Amino acid sequence: MADDKSIAQAYWKANLRLIAGCLVIWALSSYGFGILFRPWLAGISIGGTDLGFWFAQQGSILTFIALIFFYAWKMNQLDKRFGVNEE
């Protein structure tokens, strides 16, 4: 019983670490690149506009979509590692 509890705690800790990493990347791409670091990204051009504006308009959305697929892929690996995967 105690072993099951430690496995469940390790699984939850790994899940929270994955969520925290995804949230940091999402915050960096949306708030960081789109607002805070925009003056430093102004010299880099992408799609006819500066990189900071691109992140504010499209980049953060595309990053969020990529993070959804990345999270699903990593959670499937995590589920298999801890033996809670769906067949």
Mean pLDDT to the nearest integer, 68-74: 97
pLDDT at 1 over 60: no
Report pLDDT for 51: 87
Q: What pLDDT does residue 87 have?
A: 67
Residue 85 has pLDDT above 80, yes or no: no
Domain ranges in the chain?
17-81
Beta strand pairing call for 49-50 and 45-46: antiparallel
- The answer on pLDDT for 12 being more than 90 is yes
Residue range 12-17: mean pLDDT, rounded: 96
Nearest to 60 by CA among 85, 86, 78, 35: 35
The percent of the chain in helix, strand and coil, each rounded to the nearest 5, is 80, 5, 15
Q: How confident is the model at residue 56 (pLDDT cuts 50, 70, 90)?
A: confident
